[in-house]
Amino acid sequence: MEKKKILITGGAGFIGSHVVRLFVNKYPSYLIYNLDKLTYAGNLENLKDVENKSNYKFILGDIADEKFIYDLFSKEQFDGVIHLAAESHVDRSITNPNEFVITNVIGTVNLLNATNNIWKDNKKGKRFYHVSTDEVYGSLGETGYFTEQTAYDPHSPYSASKASSDHFVRAYHDTYGLPVIISNCSNNYGPYQFPEKLIPLFINNIRNNKPLPVYGKGVNIRDWLYVEDHAVAIDEIYHRGEDGETFNIGGHNEWKNIDLIKLLCKVMDNKLNREPGTSEKLITYVTDRAGHDLRYAIDSSKLQKKLGWKPSLQFEEGIEKTVSWYLNNKEWLDNVTSGNYQKYYEKMYSNR
Ligand code: NAD
Ligand code: TYD
């Protein structure tokens, strides 16, 4: 029997690399294709441990390139797609929204069209999994949670582009019967996250004794989930969810930014053998992010009840693990911050 071909987009990014690793190791009977444009956020060093496995293949390409996507799908006839490729940083979306429309909206629609084309005569066993964010739901006040029924209310260009892509995915299900599934997850943290997002940025700044820029008063709240728990949820949903369904994924782990930052400072002082209180002195309050959502919090009870998933780590444990990973992988961090990681593709793939 031919092996199932699964295309994972954005597999060289933070969450994508964890999903690729999980699928390549867990499913030797699948062929896993990782399609990535290798933007500043894509780093093949994240996948060093699986790059030579026989069920893994990397494809360099842009999901916004309609012809390239159409041709790739016509040639490879994928059985499944797990779509993570995106522009993902809110601050960048404020300075350059167009990139977000091009990749997150047009790129997603190109993938939907190409899948719809190759699966039009036989949808059995096929699945298009769209990985999305809780930010599409907007901002909560002091209380309440986002459920799968919460109305969309995005505020940043990033969340507006993700909301738009979610709507297109559902529209292709309702209009063409495309077998889709969507999940909306809260903030992820863990190894291989690009150090522009809060946790890795602050770990790197503390390590280098640089200021920690806290937006506004540091009172915004995020619900943090360890990235490997997200990858496990994606695996469960991909294999056991039903067509047309949506699942919220979250850690029931809300932290006010300033409390999280103080915890991080404490863990870093400990690991770096610094006097307690040393890293906190780096905290610097800066101008707030425009349109800064106050609070995100996910109700993931559907996923927990229906598929039996739950987060495996307590936050304090996850943060310890994460800090240790970045401190033990200083070369990765230095390569990423210096831009050297972008030469990795040339080195690894120029002779292939
Ligand atoms: P990331 O920015 O670390 O990685 C994105 C990847 O997509 C990179 O490898 C990049 O090279 C690739 N990419 C970007 N544009 C592309 C294009 N046009 N064609 C092909 N590849 C392209 O992002 P992440 O944090 O790993 O997020 C992955 C997905 O999960 C995104 O869809 C994001 O919206 C969603 N998500 C992220 C979080 C989070 O906390 N990071 C939470 C919920 C959902
Ligand atoms: P971020 O990691 O960018 O994720 P998101 O905006 O998608 O939730 O930011 C997490 C929180 O940390 C958010 O409330 C903004 C805040 N933040 C800072 O205070 N300083 C920073 O330098 C960054 C990057 C974020």
Q: What is the pLDDT of residues 128-174, one digit of tens each?
A: 999 999 999 999 999 999 999 999 999 999 999 999 999 999 999 99
pLDDT at 346 (0 to 100)? 75
- Ligand 1 nearest-atom number relative to CA 63: 19
pLDDT-derived band of residue 348, with 50, 70 and 90 as boundaries?
Answer: low
**Centre of ligand 1 from the C-alpha of residue 128, in Å:** 16
pLDDT at residue 224 above 70? yes
Which token pair is 38? Answer: 């290798």
3-state helix, strand, coil in the chain (%, to 5): 45, 20, 35
| 133 pocket-lining for ligand 1 (C-beta < 6 Å) | yes
The predicted model gives 187-203 an average pLDDT of 97
Nearest one of 146, 125, 122 to 136, comparing CA atoms? 146
Q: What is the DSSP string of 3-16?
A: PEEEEEETTTSHHH
pLDDT-derived band of residue 351, with 50, 70 and 90 as boundaries?
Answer: low
Cβ 342 vs Cβ 275: under 8 Å: no
The predicted model gives 311-315 an average pLDDT of 95
pLDDT-derived band of residue 258, with 50, 70 and 90 as boundaries?
Answer: very high
**How many residues appear in the chain?**
352
pLDDT at 349 (0 to 100)? 65
- 98-119 pLDDT, tens digit per residue, is 999 999 999 999 999 999 999 9
Tell me the Ramachandran region of residue 218: left when phi exceeds 0, alpha when psi lies from -120 to 50, beta otherwise: left
The tokens 């293949």 sit on which residue?
57
- 51-104 pLDDT, tens digit per residue, is 999 999 999 999 999 999 999 999 999 999 999 999 999 999 999 999 999 999
Tell me the CATH number for domain 4-193+223-253+291-315: 3.40.50.720
- 261-286 pLDDT, tens digit per residue, is 999 999 999 999 999 999 999 999 99
* DSSP symbol at 252: S
**Centre of ligand 2 from the C-alpha of residue 238, in Å:** 29
User: How far is the C-alpha of 320 from the C-alpha of 259, rounded, in Å?
Assistant: 15
| 251 pocket-lining for ligand 1 (C-beta < 6 Å) | no
Q: How far apart are the first and last CA of the chain?
A: 28
Cα dist. 6→25, 79, 325 in Å? Answer: 14, 6, 29
Nearest CA to ligand 1 atom 32: 84
**Centre of ligand 1 from the C-alpha of residue 41, in Å:** 8
pLDDT at residue 352 above 60? no
- Residue list, ligand 2 pocket, CB within 6 Å: 90, 187, 197-198, 201, 213-215, 220, 222, 257, 289
- Ligand 1 nearest-atom number relative to CA 187: 40
How high does pLDDT run on average in the chain? 96
pLDDT-derived band of residue 341, with 50, 70 and 90 as boundaries?
Answer: confident
Which token pair is 165? Answer: 């892509």
